[in-house]
Amino acid sequence: HREAEFFICRTSCPCKYSFLDENKKLTPRRDVPSYPKYMLSQETIEALRKPTFDVWLWEPNEMLSCLEHMYHDLGLVKDFNINPITLKRWLLCIHDNYRNNPFHNFRHCFCVTQMMYSMISLCNLQEKFPQVDILILMTAAVCHDLDHPGYNNTYQINARTELAVRYNDISPLENHHCAVAFQIIAQPECNIFSNVTQEQFKRIRQGIITLILATDMARHAEILDSFKEKMDNFDYSNEEHVTCLKMVLIKCCDISNEVRPMEVAEPWVDCLLEEYFMQSDREKSEGLPVAPFMDRDKVTKPTAQIGFLKFVLIPMFETVTKLFPEVDEVMLQPLWESRDRYEELKQLDDAMKEASYTYPELGDIFQSNIKFAQKFSEE
């Protein structure tokens, strides 16, 4: 049980765009913020630096301790003179401003940040970037989906929600995540940047905003194409090149679940589909357009993943591998294996459907056979 919690008071309306009330302040419920200090074992500390880390094993307090460790381990606490108690308070407040959505929740925030930490280690980014860029990468990852309502930008725009109206249909969710992030930082007791100069703060703020806005998948092609143009003569002294690379890095981390071992990655597909189906059911009931990839009557796990792996994930990680060859074995190969596995499952699904049309009386037998085949392929 936490000794202290921090929260932003929401409007009483529990509707789709439940919106932060700007007039309310972050109110600490206790004077001393502390979650139980979990002493991370050496084994956990080592595992935390790798994409194979099992993100399902940990309770929120343990995830908070892991995030706290990352900021200390990367030298961010020391280099930016972050008060360690303020860091704890800030992390608690971050936790309390993620909603309990099936997918876009605090565990997803932890996943994305842990993958960023892994990529910083794997690609030796601390040798290539100044520390301020490491701080921007990590903090953007932590904050990138704050107060996500569980309904995507398409829904916000089509339903004409308060968020869509406020942000003129331009990346309403990502703009909101940024706004919440800096509402939290605006509270002195949660301001991890209180000891940086005015100039540094401007750079950090602009960097975080740029990265969070880059997570809007509507901008995927634009960002990846821009990165590809810079690949032939990538220059770490060119600010535009480095910004583009940071945008691609946060994008990689945001959608990196399939990089993880199959038993860690697969439950996330169920979580995402649950959130998609929640949205498409609502869209149907409100008479709004429904995307086929979100429709429970049209999508399966294999069909959901194959296109995403082949046309989004793999091409992006292949491009990153050209700059960081170490990504190939650790991140790209698991994506190829995941694609092959889902294609096999789709073939099994298709075969079962065809057989059940031809021999409807054998439906139960086919069903049990396919479950056995799926289990066998997992083992």
Would the annotation count 254 as a binding residue?
yes
Would the annotation count 372 as a binding residue?
no
CB 141 within 8 A of CB 106: no
Would the annotation count 69 as a binding residue?
no
β-sheet bridge partners, residue 10: 20
> Residue 17: which of 217, 159, 209 has the closest Cα?
159
The CB density around residue 89, as the number of other CB atoms within 10 Å, is: 24
Q: Which of 104, 148, 176, 177 is catalytic?
A: 104
With b for 16 or more beta-carbon neighbours within 10 A and e for fewer, the 44-61 pattern comes to beebbbebebebeebebb
Would the annotation count 104 as a binding residue?
yes
d(CA 213, CA 179): 11
In the 8-state DSSP scheme, what is residue 312? Answer: I
Would the annotation count 108 as a binding residue?
yes
Would the annotation count 72 as a binding residue?
no
> Residue 211: which of 167, 242, 183, 190 has the closest Cα?
242
Would the annotation count 152 as a binding residue?
no
Tokens of 362: 């054998």
> Residue 267: which of 276, 279, 258 has the closest Cα?
258
Instruction: Count CA atoms closer than 13 A to 177's CA, side-chain side.
Output: 30
Would the annotation count 145 as a binding residue?
yes
> Residue 108: which of 156, 116, 220, 171 has the closest Cα?
116
Angle at 33 between CA 28 and CA 35, to 5 degrees: 125
| Catalytic (active site) residue 177 | no
Q: Helix (H, G, I), strand (E, B), or coil: what is residue 63?
A: helix
Q: Which residues are annotated as a binding site?
A: 104-108, 144-145, 254, 305
Output the known binding site for AMP.
Answer: 104-108, 145, 254, 305
Which residue numbers are catalytic? 104
Residues at the binding site for Zn(2+) are: 108, 144-145, 254
